Amino acid sequence: MDKQDQKTHVGKWPQNCKLASIEPEHLRNVIVRKEKLAPTVTLVEVRAPLVARSAKPGQFVIVWPHEKSERIPLTISDRNPETGTITLVFQEVGRTTIELGQRQVGEEIASVAGPLGNPTEIELYGSAVVVAGGVGAAIAMPIAKALKEIGNNLVVILGARERALVILEDYMRAISDQLIITTDDGSYGRKGVVTEPLQELVSAQKVDFVFTAGPLPMMKAVAQVTKPHGIKTIASLDAIMIDGTGMCGGCRVTVGNKTLFTCVDGPDFDAHLVDWDELQARKSFYFDEEKAQLKTIAGNKQ
C-alpha cells in the first residue's frame, strides 16, 4: 500500500478498508471535537474506527490517555461508523480524567479499546423511565434514545447538584415524552433529588421499566423506590477496572449472592439484586491514593 492509499483509508474508513489492510496509523485515537458540557464535564469525539463500527448502546471503552495514566472505563455515548468516531463524556474528578480533559482537538489519546461489556437490552416495555444523575446523563443518553425509538413512552429524570451541572438537557427533551430536572440546591428545576419525582411517578401511573445511571448512592435509592412496585430496574454500574476484558476481576460485584464481573457480565445489572454497599466500599478503596495523585497534577502545574 503506498502513502496515498494510506491517506485515503484514513479518510474513508471503514468502508473501503478490509481488516487485513489496517495499519497502526489507521487506528490512532485523534480527538476531532471537544465541548465543555459543564464546568467539570467534558465531551470528546474521538476517532476509534473499529469501536465505532460495532458499538451498541450500553457498551463502554477502556481509555488510557497517556503512558503514565490509569486505564479507566467510559461509556460510549454515541458513535458514527461513517466518520469512525465515538463520543465520550467524562467528569474531571481524578488525575486521569483531568489529564484527559487537557487533551485538545487534533491531539491523540494513547489508547481507546472496546466496545466492551454487553449492550443494554432494549425492548418495548410500554412505559419506561430513565433516571440519571450528574454525568450519568451521558451514560443514559444512548439508552434513552433507543428506548424511545423502539416505541416506549419515555420519561427522563435528570438530577444534578446545581444548575451548571445539568447536562444534555436539550437532547433529552427532544427525545423524551417528558423531562423532569431536579437540582439539590433548587437552582434549576425541582429542588431535591431524583427519587422524589420517581416516587410520584411510580405511585401515580404504571411504569414498566426503569434504567438508571449515575452516582452509586443515587442508583441504590432508585432501586429502593422501584423494588416495592416490582418494576424491572436496570443499573449501569461503573466499577474499578483495569483491562475490561475479564482478566483482573477488580470489577467484581455481588448480584443476587453471585459474584459477577462488571466488565464481561455487565455493565448492566438488576438494580434490585446488586450489593450496593459492597460496591461502594470497593469503589472508594483507593480514595487516599487518588487524592494524592490529584496533588501530583496540581504540583506539576505550578
DSSP string, 73-104: EEEEEEEETTTTEEEEEEE--SHHHHHHHT--
CB closer to other proteins out of 148 and 220: 220
Name the minimum Å distance from CB 22 to other proteins. 6
Site pattern 50..89 for other proteins (x: CB under 8 A): xx-xx---------x---xxxx------------------
Judged by CB under 8 A, does residue 149 bind other proteins? no
Write down how long the chain is.
302
- Half-sphere exposure of residue 213, counting CA atoms within 13 Å on the CB side? 23
Name the minimum Å distance from CB 238 to other proteins. 16
Beta sheet of 29-38, edge-to-edge order: 108-109, 29-38, 41-47, 85-91, 72-80, 60-64, 111-116
Site pattern 223..242 for other proteins (x: CB under 8 A): -------------------x
Using the 8-state DSSP alphabet, how is residue 271 labeled? T
Grouping H, G, I as helix, E, B as strand and the rest as coil, residue 34 is strand
Residue 205, class by beta-carbon neighbours within 10 Å (0-12 exposed, 13-18 middle, 19+ buried)?
Answer: exposed
Q: Of the ranges 111-119, 139-147, 153-161, 186-194, which one interacts with other proteins (CB under 8 A)? A: 111-119
Sequence-ordered list of residues with C-beta below 8 angstroms from that of 44, at least 6 positions apart, any chain:
31, 33, 34, 35, 87, 88, 100, 103
State the cell numbers at 108: 491523540
Judged by CB under 8 A, does residue 100 bind other proteins? no
Give me the helices (H) in the chain, please: 3-12, 49-54, 95-101, 136-149, 169-175, 195-204, 216-226, 262-265, 276-283, 287-301
Q: Of the ranges 47-55, 84-92, 161-169, 185-193, which one interacts with other proteins (CB under 8 A)? A: 47-55
Judged by CB under 8 A, does residue 298 bind other proteins? no
CB closer to other proteins out of 232 and 282: 282
Q: Of the ranges 79-87, 95-103, 124-132, 229-237, which one interacts with other proteins (CB under 8 A)? A: 95-103
Count the site residues for other proteins by CB under 8 A: 53
Q: Of the ranges 21-29, 30-38, 151-159, 223-231, which one interacts with other proteins (CB under 8 A)? A: 21-29
Q: Of the ranges 126-134, 140-148, 205-213, 283-291, which one interacts with other proteins (CB under 8 A)? A: 283-291
Judged by CB under 8 A, does residue 205 bind other proteins? no
Judged by CB under 8 A, does residue 273 bind other proteins? no
Judged by CB under 8 A, does residue 30 bind other proteins? no
CB closer to other proteins out of 50 and 135: 50
147, 123 Cβ separation under 8 angstroms: no
Judged by CB under 8 A, does residue 282 bind other proteins? yes
Q: What angle do CA 189, 125, 177 make, to 5 degrees?
A: 30
State the cell numbers at 16: 473501503
CB atoms within 10 A of CB 187: 14
CB closer to other proteins out of 204 and 300: 300
CA distance 57 to 48: 16
Binding site for other proteins (CB under 8 A): 18-24, 27, 50-51, 53-54, 64, 68-71, 94-96, 99, 110-116, 242-243, 245-250, 252-254, 259, 264, 275, 277-278, 280-282, 285-286, 289-290, 293, 296
